[in-house]
Amino acid sequence: MVMTGLVFTTAGDWALASDGIQWMLMRRRGDAWRPISSVRSTRDVLARCMREKGVEAADARYLLFGLPDTFGQFNALHAASRGATA
């Protein structure tokens, strides 16, 4: 399965994306990003998933930088930037 959601930050072979429903931790496989984990709750849970999947600490800090505490907050901010309602 190839992910078509919004990839919004990358670090090495890791990326964060969103499909509007959840954050997705992605890993590069060849020339495509593949979903590894999905998180709809909090940034802390996303960080734990990153550790469990083997994301290096420096990459995880970079990927998480600037994210709000919850996916709901992230989604509301992204929707507002598109001129839509969350």
Q: In 10 A of CB 40, how many CB atoms?
A: 14
DSSP 36: E
* Rounded Cα distance, 83 and 85, in Å: 7
**Is residue 17 domain-resident?**
yes
Work out how many domains the chain is built from and give that number: 1
**Coil, strand or helix at 51:** helix
* Rounded Cα distance, 86 and 73, in Å: 9
**Is residue 75 domain-resident?**
yes
pLDDT-derived band at 78 (thresholds 50, 70, 90) equals: confident
What is the tens place of the pLDDT at every residue in 11-55? 999 999 999 899 999 999 999 999 999 999 999 999 999 999 999
pTM of the model: 0.84
**Is residue 30 domain-resident?**
yes
pLDDT-derived band at 6 (thresholds 50, 70, 90) equals: confident
**Is residue 86 domain-resident?**
no
